[in-house]
A and B are shown apart, each in its own frame.
Chain A
Amino acid sequence: MAKHIVARVEDIPVGERKTFSVRGRAIVVFNQGGEFFAILDKCPHSGAPLSKGTLVSLVESGEPGVYQRSRPGEMLKCPWHSWEFDIRTGQSYCDPASTRAKKYAVSVEPGCALAKGPFNADTFPVSLEDNYVIVEM
Chain B
Amino acid sequence: MHLVIIVDMARISFHSSHNKHMSAYRAIAKGAGRSVGKHMDDQVLLDRAFDGFTELPVKGAVDCDVHPAVPGTGALLKYMDDHWREQIVERGIDGLDAMSFPPGIGALGREDWRLPAGKPGSDPDRTIKDVLDGFDLSFAILNCLYHVQGAYDENMSIGLARAVNNWVKAEWLDRDPRFRASIVIPTESPELAVDEIDRLASDKRFVQIMMLAGGEIPMGRRFHWPIFRAAEKHGLPITVHAGTNYRHAPTSIGWPSFFVEEYVGHPHMFQMQLLSLITEGVFTKFPNLKFVFAESGFTWLPPSIWRANKTWKAMRVETPWVDRPPAEIVRSNFRFTLQPSDIALDGTGLAKTIEHIGSDDVILFSTDYPHAHFEGKRALPPGLSDSQIRKICIDNPLATYPRLKEASR
Contact = CB atoms under 8 A, between A and B. Distances in A.
Interface of A: 56, 59-68, 81-84, 93-95
A67 B318 CA distance: 10
Contacts of A59: 317, 320
Contacts of B317: 56, 59, 84
A66 B281 CA distance: 11
Given A67-B320, A94-B325, A62 B315 contact: no
Contacts of B1: none
Nearest to A68: B320
A47 B335 CA distance: 37
B312 A94 contact: yes
A57 to B, nearest CB: 9
A61 B325 CA distance: 15
Scoring A56, A65, A68, A81 by chain B CB atoms within 10 A of each residue's CB, the highest score goes to A65
Contact of A64 (B280, B313, B315, B316): B280
A82 B320 contact: no
B284 interface: yes
B314 interface: yes
Contacts of B315: 82
B377 interface: no
B281 A65 contact: yes
Contacts of A62: 284, 321
B126 to A, nearest CB: 46
A60 B320 CA distance: 5
Contacts of A83: 313-314
Contacts of A67: 320
Contact of B313 (A63, A65, A95): A95
B59 interface: no
21 contacts: A59-B317, A60-B320, A61-B281, A61-B284, A63-B284, A64-B281, A64-B282, A64-B284, A64-B321, A65-B281, A65-B321, A66-B321, A81-B314, A82-B313, A82-B314, A83-B314, A84-B317, A93-B316, A94-B312, A94-B316, A95-B313
B15 interface: no
Nearest to A45: B313
Scoring B282, B285, B313, B323 by chain A CB atoms within 10 A of each residue's CB, the highest score goes to B313
A89 B323 CA distance: 19
Contact of B320 (A56, A61, A81, A95): A61
Interface string B369-393: 0000000000000000000000000
A94 B320 contact: no
A63 B314 contact: no
A64 B314 contact: no
A58 to B, nearest CB: 9
Nearest to B315: A82
A56 B316 CA distance: 13
Contact of A63 (B312, B316, B321, B325): B321
B313 A94 contact: yes
B127 to A, nearest CB: 41
Nearest to B281: A64
Scoring B222, B285, B314, B315 by chain A CB atoms within 10 A of each residue's CB, the highest score goes to B314
Given A61-B321, A64-B321, A82-B313, 12 more contacts: A60-B323, A61-B284, A64-B280, A64-B284, A81-B314, A82-B314, A82-B315, A84-B317, A93-B316, A94-B312, A94-B313, A95-B313
A93 to B, nearest CB: 7
A81 B313 contact: yes
B278 to A, nearest CB: 11
Interface in B289-317: 312-317
Nearest to B325: A94
B295 to A, nearest CB: 29
B11 to A, nearest CB: 45
A62 B284 CA distance: 7
